[in-house]
């Protein structure tokens, strides 16, 4: 029997619980790091702990939900200078393969699409565990952090500084803290 046949009942499907999850980012601004998050997102995780190659994940982020605690900056980020939310309203990740890297760590490779530009990325995902909550709902936790170059996705806007260099860095650290509910 192949692993795929042996684990047909071991794959558990989860929906992301956005009230207990976070999609966050940070980027260099002059000297420090500016942090932000997306408030509206959804996704599904199909997880087979015994045979992770049967697992998959997808995430859709509503670009208009960007929040850096500065309304003017958020509007600028929604504009055509950055995400162009009217033309490209979502950011998407869809996995293509999952491989075990350790007891509770996985390499989740897939396509990340921002502004209509797609690139393959590999997310180092940690499985935090699964448990039944007090309301008898099965939940699972996952975390990952990955750095991408914003220019790879057409996010090129920048301003030169008088002291040299540029206002914004190119690298953006994306962090996902996901709690998901079993279907």
pTM for the model:
0.91
72-102 residue pLDDT tens: 999 999 999 999 999 999 999 999 999 999 9
CB-count burial class (<10 Å; 0-12, 13-18, 19+) for 116: exposed
CATH number at residue 52: 2.40.128.110
Residue with the two structure tokens 């008898």: 136
**Confidence band for 2, pLDDT divided at 50, 70 and 90:** very low
Torsion region of 176: left, alpha or beta (phi above 0 gives left; psi -120 to 50 gives alpha)? beta
Q: Is the pLDDT of residue 71 over 80?
A: yes
Q: What is the total count of domains within the chain?
A: 1
Q: Which domain does 72 fall in, by range? A: 3-182
Provide φ and ψ at 65, rounded to 5°. Answer: -85, 10
Segment holding 99, helix H or strand E: strand 90-100
């Amino acid at each position: 029997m192949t692993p795929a046949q042996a684990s047909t009942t071991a794959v558990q499907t989860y929906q992301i619980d956005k009230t207990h999850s976070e999609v966050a980012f940070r980027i260099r601004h002059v000297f420090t790091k500016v942090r932000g998050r997306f408030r509206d997102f959804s996704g599904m995780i199909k997880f087979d702990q015994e045979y992770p190659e049967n697992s998959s994940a997808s995430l859709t982020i509503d670009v208009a939900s960007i929040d850096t605690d500065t309304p003017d900056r958020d509007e600028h980020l929604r504009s055509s200078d950055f995400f162009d939310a009217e033309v490209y309203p979502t950011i998407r990740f869809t996995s293509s393969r999952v491989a075990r890297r350790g007891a509770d760590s996985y390499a989740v490779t897939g396509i990340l699409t921002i502004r209509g530009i797609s690139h393959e990325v590999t997310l180092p995902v940690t499985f935090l565990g699964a448990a039944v909550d007090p309301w008898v709902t099965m939940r699972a936790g996952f975390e990952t952090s990955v750095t991408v170059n914003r220019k790879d996705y057409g996010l090129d806007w920048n301003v030169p500084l008088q002291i040299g260099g540029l206002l914004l860095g190119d690298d953006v650290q994306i962090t996902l803290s996901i709690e998901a509910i079993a279907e």
